[in-house]
């Protein structure tokens, strides 16, 4: 089976490992259409790139999620001769419409990918694009369960599978010598609670600070590690100073992707306290699987897809419930057996469901279903 994928996200080398795994399967031949850069991100070369055709193109409206498109796309589809075109973009984006129309013109079935887990009505021309994409595709991949429900509510009746867009790379994330890393990064605490992500209200930063304050005040050997940037930067600093906790709070504004595996191993617990708003709820929570792969215990709110990602491998609390989050942190801190059990479950859950290999296998299985078992 020959599949041509169209994906701006794949300018990042680590994301392309999924395609490399797919191409290695006995019945699969992959090709990729990708921008020569996306916004300020250059195309990152990788040694696996030579295994399958990659069409790197300069594109109009580069960096514009819903407006960019690919010149010569019809010619590329014609030359590659795919059995299926996988458009790794939302159903209301111009590039998805372009890909569906080009594939349809050449008699090639297509599918799209969506993260959109909140029902929204779009203005013209996006509503018209959405409906034509619905008519013209053979199926869809939803990144989370709510996204599948949104498609059904919008009247999409064709096959949909729920598979995240990308998996966790176990070459980057896995257990390491925590104590050696803490010495390297000058961590004095024996137990570290961490957060990784944007420092914005939607991510529940205020809830995290309120919930962990009594834990830090009672336990001087507990630390808080916050990785990311955003509007809460100054507030976090003021909060730490005002509560006499500055020595227990560490801020890392930016960490390279190569170093993130080390950062995850500085933590014992990762907290993702996201809050649902009228226009957003957690679509997946990639840091959860990265933390679980690193044998961290994960604690998350019940916003969006978080409970489905965590499963029985962590603790889930009602979003916005500060006392329950405090209690969850205390449980993990005080119960060594619980901590060990959840860490092991998390690592196993990632291996079974969320590695790049697992995501590649599930995606290819859906391809075969769409094409009637074709190999």
Q: Which tens digit of pLDDT belongs to each residue from 132-182?
A: 999 999 999 999 999 999 999 999 999 999 999 999 999 889 999 998 998
DSSP secondary structure letter of residue 354: I
pLDDT of residue 254: 82
Percent of the chain with pLDDT over 70: 99
Q: What is the pTM of this model?
A: 0.92
Q: Is the pLDDT assigned to residue 78 strictly greater than 80?
A: yes
Q: Is the pLDDT assigned to residue 373 strictly greater than 70?
A: no
Q: Is the pLDDT assigned to residue 23 strictly greater than 90?
A: yes
Q: 76-85, 212-221, 254-263, 299-308 — which is least confidently predicted?
A: 254-263
Q: Most distant CA pair in the chain: distance in Å?
A: 67
Please give the class, per CATH, of domain 178-354. alpha beta
Q: For residues 163 and 362, is the Cβ–Cβ distance under 8 A?
A: yes
Mean pLDDT on 56-70: 96
Q: Which of 304, 347, 300 is nearest to 328 (CA)?
A: 300
- CA pair distance 14, 12, nearest whole angstrom: 6
β-bridge partners, 160: 140
pLDDT of residue 368: 96
Mean pLDDT on 289-296: 98
Assign domain 2-167+355-370 to its CATH architecture: 3-Layer(aba) Sandwich (3.40)
Query: In which band, very low, low, confident or very high, does the pLDDT at 47 lie, cut at 50, 70 and 90?
Result: confident
**CATH topology match: 2-167+355-370 vs 178-354:** yes
Q: CA 129 → CA 12, 96, 135, 256, 306, distances in Å?
A: 27, 8, 10, 37, 30
Report the 3 state secondary structure along 72-95.
CHHHHHHHHCCCEEEECCCCCCHH
pLDDT tens digit string along 209-257?
Answer: 999 999 999 999 999 999 999 999 999 999 999 999 999 999 998 887 7
Mean pLDDT on 122-128: 95
Q: For residues 108 and 77, is the Cβ–Cβ distance under 8 A?
A: yes
pLDDT of residue 238: 96
pLDDT of residue 244: 95
β-bridge partners, 196: 227
Query: Would you list the domain boundaries of the chain?
Result: 2-167+355-370, 178-354
- CA pair distance 170, 294, nearest whole angstrom: 9
CB atoms under 10 Å from CB of 120, counted, come to 10
Q: Is the pLDDT assigned to residue 293 strictly greater than 70?
A: yes
Q: 200-204, 228-232, 256-260, 311-315 — which is least confidently predicted?
A: 256-260
Q: Is the pLDDT assigned to residue 347 strictly greater than 80?
A: yes
Mean pLDDT on 360-365: 97
Q: Is the pLDDT assigned to residue 282 strictly greater than 70?
A: yes
pLDDT of residue 375: 57
pLDDT of residue 374: 64
pLDDT of residue 215: 98
Query: In which band, very low, low, confident or very high, does the pLDDT at 188 lie, cut at 50, 70 and 90?
Result: confident
Distance of CA 69 to the CA centre of its chain: 23
pLDDT of residue 187: 85
Q: Which residue has the higher pLDDT, 174 or 49?
A: 174
pLDDT of residue 125: 95
Percent of the chain with pLDDT over 90: 90
Q: Is the pLDDT assigned to residue 309 strictly greater than 90?
A: yes
Mean pLDDT on 333-337: 97
Q: CA 96 → CA 17, 87, 140, 298, distances in Å?
A: 22, 6, 12, 35
Mean of per-residue pLDDT scores for the chain = 95
Q: For residues 292 and 349, is the Cβ–Cβ distance under 8 A?
A: yes
């Amino acid at each position: 089976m020959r599949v041509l994928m169209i994906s701006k996200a794949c300018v990042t080398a680590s994301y392309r490992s999924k395609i490399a795994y797919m191409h290695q399967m006995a019945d699969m031949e992959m090709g990729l259409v990708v921008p020569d850069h996306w916004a300020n991100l250059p195309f990152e070369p990788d040694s696996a790139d030579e295994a399958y055709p990659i069409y790197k193109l300069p594109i109009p409206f580069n960096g514009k999620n819903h407006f960019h498109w690919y010149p010569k796309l019809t010619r590329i589809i014609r030359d590659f001769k795919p059995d299926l075109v996988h458009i790794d973009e939302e159903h209301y984006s111009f590039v998805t419409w372009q890909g569906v129309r080009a594939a349809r013109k050449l008699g090639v079935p297509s599918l799209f990918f969506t993260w959109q887990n909140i029902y929204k009505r779009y203005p013209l021309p996006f509503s018209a694009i959405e409906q034509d994409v619905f008519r013209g595709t053979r199926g869809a991949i939803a990144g989370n369960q709510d996204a599948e429900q949104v498609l059904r509510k919008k009247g999409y009746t064709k096959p949909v599978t729920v598979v995240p867009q990308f998996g966790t790379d176990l070459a980057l994330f896995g257990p390491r010598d925590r104590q050696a890393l803490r010495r390297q990064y000058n961590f004095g605490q024996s137990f570290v609670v961490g957060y990784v992500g944007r420092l914005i209200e939607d991510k529940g930063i205020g809830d995290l600070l309120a919930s962990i304050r009594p834990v830090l005040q009672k336990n001087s050997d507990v630390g808080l590690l916050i990785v990311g940037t955003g509007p809460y930067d100054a507030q976090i600093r003021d909060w730490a100073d005002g509560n006499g906790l500055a020595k227990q709070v560490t801020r890392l504004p930016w960490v390279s992707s190569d170093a993130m595996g080390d950062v995850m191993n500085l933590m014992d617990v990762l907290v993702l306290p996201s809050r649902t708003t009228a226009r957003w709820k957690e679509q997946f929570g990639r840091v959860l699987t990265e933390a679980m792969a690193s044998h961290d215990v994960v604690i998350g709110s019940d916003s969006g897809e978080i409970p489905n990602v965590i499963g029985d491998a962590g603790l889930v609390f009602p979003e916005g419930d500060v006392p329950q989050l405090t209690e969850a942190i205390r449980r993990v801190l005080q119960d060594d057996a619980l901590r060990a059990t959840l860490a092991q479950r998390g690592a196993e859950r990632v291996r079974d469901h969320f590695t790049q290999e697992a995501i590649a296998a599930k995606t290819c299985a859906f391809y075969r279903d769409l094409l009637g078992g074709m190999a």
